[in-house]
Amino acid sequence: MPENEATPDTRHEATLDTRYSDKNATAASWPAAVEQLEQAEIFWLTTVRPQGRPHVTPLLGVWLAEALHFCTGPAERKAKNLEANPQVVLTTGSNALNEGFDLVVEGEAVQETDEPRLRRLAKAYEQKYGKVWHFDVRDGAFHGDGGRALVFRVAPSKVLGFGRGVYSQNRWTF
């Protein structure tokens, strides 16, 4: 995870849990975590089924305006789960054992229907993932080749960061 000490963000200062961190570990900066959230291509979304069992699925996501955003069809399992319980976890990171940094974002998924914001998000999706992820915006949702997609915003309530190589456990609260 790249460090960005030039622009520290004291609003989101990391707490390093020394119980789970190497003695030489230092807390990661929030700007470096944001950079990783902006660049990550795949996120794993965890929702809770109405019966209480977890549901995990990979998806694309965009970090914009201090929140993660994702979309899903209204008939998909994750959309149905969010109707009953909006609490989610989004994770991203690396599969390497001795290098990388994983991020776990906890928060509430709130449906985004404001069309000017949706247009900004549609543009951000296309810039990040290419023309195949072009969406039109109408009726408070994305519309693309796969049909109508609901858009959700997750403003973090807590973010955990797990470093490998020099092992560390970081925590940011909001």
CATH class of the structural domain 10-114+148-173? mainly beta
Q: How far apart are CA 8 and CA 79, in angstroms?
A: 36
Q: What angle do CA 33, 34, 37 make, to 5 degrees?
A: 90
Q: Given pLDDT bands bounded at 50, 70 and 90, which one contains residue 85?
A: very high
pLDDT tens for each residue of 123-171: 999 999 999 999 999 999 999 999 999 999 999 999 999 999 999 999 9
Nearest to 4 by CA among 24, 29, 27: 29
Q: Given pLDDT bands bounded at 50, 70 and 90, which one contains residue 77?
A: very high
Residue 33 Ramachandran class (φ > 0 left, ψ -120 to 50 alpha, else beta): alpha
Whether 1 has a pLDDT exceeding 80, the answer reads no
Are residues 167 and 161 in contact, defined by beta-carbon separation less than 8 angstroms? no
